[in-house]
Amino acid sequence: MVRDATSLTLLERARDRDQAAWQRMVQLYRPLIQHWVVRAGVRVADAEDVVQEVFSTVAGRLDEFRRDRPGDTFRGWLRAIARFKVLEHFRMTGPAAAGGTDALERMAEIPDSNDSDIEERAGLSHRALDLVRGEFEAKTWDAFHRVAVEGRPTDVVANELGMTSPAVRMAKSRVLRRLREEIGDLID
């Protein structure tokens, strides 16, 4: 994959120890990692410590992430690190004991893996959009959002916003291109 040196992705910039890129990565992935950690049974009071351990490991091993095989994803790599850190946490503290009706109700609340995957991707996508939103004029963003997110027809959006259809398509294209430049390596 050839990349333009002037538009390094968030992952590449984080590997280069770019502080702003690292902060964006944390913004993007902290809620997801926290969700995994709490869902695995770590008490909410301890979850932030485990999340910090995950990010500490990621920071030290970011250069090791590779997409060598089909299906290798950054999110999958993060999940494996989080799983290891949760196990490490329980080795140190012991698992929280739970049983009876409360435990059964908590297990029933855990979404099935397909639903969970869809929710995780949606959450990442929304946080990624929030990261780049400020880089665009309101009209450009509005055109993009109405067409790409809401799924409205280009000609209808153009009419509503007083733009031409090609201008609406261009707005959508510009935002999507910027999104791919910024975080294309991070959302599978």
pLDDT digits (tens, 9 = 90+) for 80-91: 999 999 999 988
Instruction: Say yes or no: do domains 1-110 and 113-188 share a fold.
Output: no
What is the per-residue pLDDT for 98? 53
Q: What is the mean pLDDT of residues 115-131?
A: 74
Contact 26, 58 (CB under 8 A): no
Among 120, 118, 109, smallest CA distance to 33 is for 120
The residue type found at 156 is V
Share of the chain above pLDDT 70, in %: 80
Query: In whole angstroms, what is the distance from residue 123 CA to residue 119 CA?
Result: 6
Q: Where are the domains of the chain?
A: 1-110, 113-188
Among 138, 136, 173, smallest CA distance to 154 is for 173
pLDDT at 149 over 70: yes
pLDDT at 20 over 80: yes
- Top CATH class, 113-188: mainly alpha
- Confirm whether pTM is higher than 0.85: no
pLDDT at 112 over 70: no
Query: In whole angstroms, what is the distance from residue 66 CA to residue 62 CA?
Result: 9
What is the per-residue pLDDT for 2? 36
Select the more confidently predicted residue: 117 or 59.
59
Res. 124 pLDDT band, cuts 50 70 90:
confident
Res. 56 pLDDT band, cuts 50 70 90:
very high
Domain 1-110 has CATH 3.40.50.360: no
